[in-house]
């Protein structure tokens, strides 16, 4: 379960808790009673408000402006929001602190007004973001780290079920394949597990190297953006030989490789792509068509920071 999925699950559980029909399904979540104590929940993506500091303004742009077309009506709802956040107990779920940046470089966290004392903030982030010296321990009431999968076989069963409609292949067959080829270590990561299920269902050749798995992932992403096929002949890296969609736009692969190298090994190395870098790549149609979305940051641990007002 990723950090975005985790927050989405919390939102669904809250909806169940406050729903009149939730009494019948209360066994699905042991924390429904706790969630029931919050009268309002706001789910925000920090990625979508990179230059906004105040949480109340994020709610306006991400939620109110999308729900109401009339400007006068938006203003009335915004006033109501201010009253709600002052008087009612609210939970504000903010996803992806590592993807949010304040250009003023003064506040490391989204700002909740001090008058909104009833609001509890639940923020997800990558663990490296917590190394920011500006984030004080005193501002965090509870820090939870999700560091692995408790039941790998159960997760594999769910993923397998979601990938096929006729259930022609069973979970036991998949686990036998995993054990036979000694691929158990790939089950530690949800995204690798999902990709491995896809490889197995499509009967793709896979020798077991992480490099080959990443090539399969890239090939699948390229396939979503282009239908032209092409093949490497005696490629320097053998794991590219089995790909079908990378070769016709191999210059994109080179650009991604250069970007990855510079972000990892240069004197200014960083696991985060700065806004200028992403915009430059996006403005270069010959290298990166605007409709493509291949740049993704992958980490294996998730940190959840919970901020509770005094």
pLDDT of residue 167: 63
pTM over 0.85? The answer is no
Q: pLDDT per residue over 222-274, tens digit each?
A: 887 777 888 888 777 778 887 888 888 888 888 878 777 777 776 655 555 55
Record the tokens describing residue 217, joined without a space: 């992932």
pLDDT of residue 78: 95
pLDDT of residue 202: 79
Q: pLDDT per residue over 154-199, tens digit each?
A: 888 888 888 776 666 788 888 888 888 888 888 888 878 888 888 8
What is the Cα–Cα distance from 122 to 120, expressed in whole angstroms?
7
User: Where residue 286 falls among pLDDT bands split at 50, 70, 90?
Assistant: very low
User: Where residue 24 falls among pLDDT bands split at 50, 70, 90?
Assistant: low
What is the Cα–Cα distance from 44 to 64, expressed in whole angstroms?
12
What is the Cα–Cα distance from 138 to 235, expressed in whole angstroms?
53
pLDDT of residue 270: 56
Q: pLDDT per residue over 38-59, tens digit each?
A: 999 999 999 898 889 999 999 9
User: Where residue 291 falls among pLDDT bands split at 50, 70, 90?
Assistant: very low
163 and 201 Cβ atoms separated by less than 8 Å: yes
What is the Cα–Cα distance from 44 to 40, expressed in whole angstroms?
13
Does the pLDDT value for residue 25 go beyond 70? no
User: Where residue 70 falls among pLDDT bands split at 50, 70, 90?
Assistant: very high
Among 38, 35, 119, 43, CA closest to 82? 119
What is the Cα–Cα distance from 302 to 281, expressed in whole angstroms?
28
Does the pLDDT value for residue 304 go beyond 80? no
pLDDT of residue 60: 96
Q: pLDDT per residue over 85-144, tens digit each?
A: 999 999 999 999 988 876 656 788 999 999 998 899 999 998 888 888 888 888 888 888
pLDDT of residue 1: 58
What is the Cα–Cα distance from 138 to 150, expressed in whole angstroms?
31
155 and 176 Cβ atoms separated by less than 8 Å: no
Residues 175/178/184/186 CA torsion (nearest 10 deg): -110
User: Where residue 4 falls among pLDDT bands split at 50, 70, 90?
Assistant: confident
Mean of the per-residue pLDDT values for the chain? 79
pLDDT of residue 145: 81
Partners of 48 in beta bridges: none
pLDDT of residue 296: 43
Helix 250-265 crosses helix 210-225 at what angle (to 10 degrees)?
A: 130
Strand pairing report for 90-95 and 40-45: parallel
């Amino acid at each position: 379960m990723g950090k975005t999925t985790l927050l989405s699950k919390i939102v669904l559980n809250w909806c169940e808790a406050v729903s009149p029909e939730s009494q019948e399904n209360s066994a699905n979540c042991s924390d429904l009673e706790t969630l029931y104590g919050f009268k309002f929940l706001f789910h925000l993506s920090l990625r979508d408000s990179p230059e906004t500091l105040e949480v109340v303004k994020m709610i306006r742009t991400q939620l109110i402006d999308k729900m109401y077309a009339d400007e006068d009506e938006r203003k009335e709802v915004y006033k109501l929001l201010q009253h709600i956040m002052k008087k009612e107990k609210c939970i504000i779920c903010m996803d992806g602190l590592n993807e949010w940046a304040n250009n003023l470089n003064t506040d490391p966290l989204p700002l909740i007004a001090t008058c909104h004392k009833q609001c509890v903030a639940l923020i997800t982030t990558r663990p490296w973001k917590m190394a920011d010296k500006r984030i004080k321990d005193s501002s965090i009431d509870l820090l939870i780290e999700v560091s692995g999968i408790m039941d790998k076989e159960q997760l594999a069963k769910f993923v397998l079920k979601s990938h096929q409609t006729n259930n022609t292949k069973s979970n036991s067959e998949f686990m036998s394949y995993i054990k036979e080829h000694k691929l158990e270590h790939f089950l530690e990561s949800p995204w690798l597990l999902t990709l491995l299920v896809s490889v197995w269902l499509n009967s793709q050749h896979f020798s077991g190297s992480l490099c080959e798995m990443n090539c399969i992932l890239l090939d699948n992403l390229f396939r979503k953006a282009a239908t032209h096929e092409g093949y490497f002949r005696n490629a320097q890296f053998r794991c590219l030989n089995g790909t079908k969609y990378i070769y016709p736009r191999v210059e994109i692969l080179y650009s991604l490789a250069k970007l990855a190298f510079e972000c990892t090994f240069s004197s200014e190395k960083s696991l985060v792509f700065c806004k200028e870098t992403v915009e430059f790549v996006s403005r270069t149609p010959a290298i990166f068509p605007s409709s493509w979305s291949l740049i993704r940051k992958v980490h294996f641990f998730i940190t959840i920071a919970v901020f509770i007002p005094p």
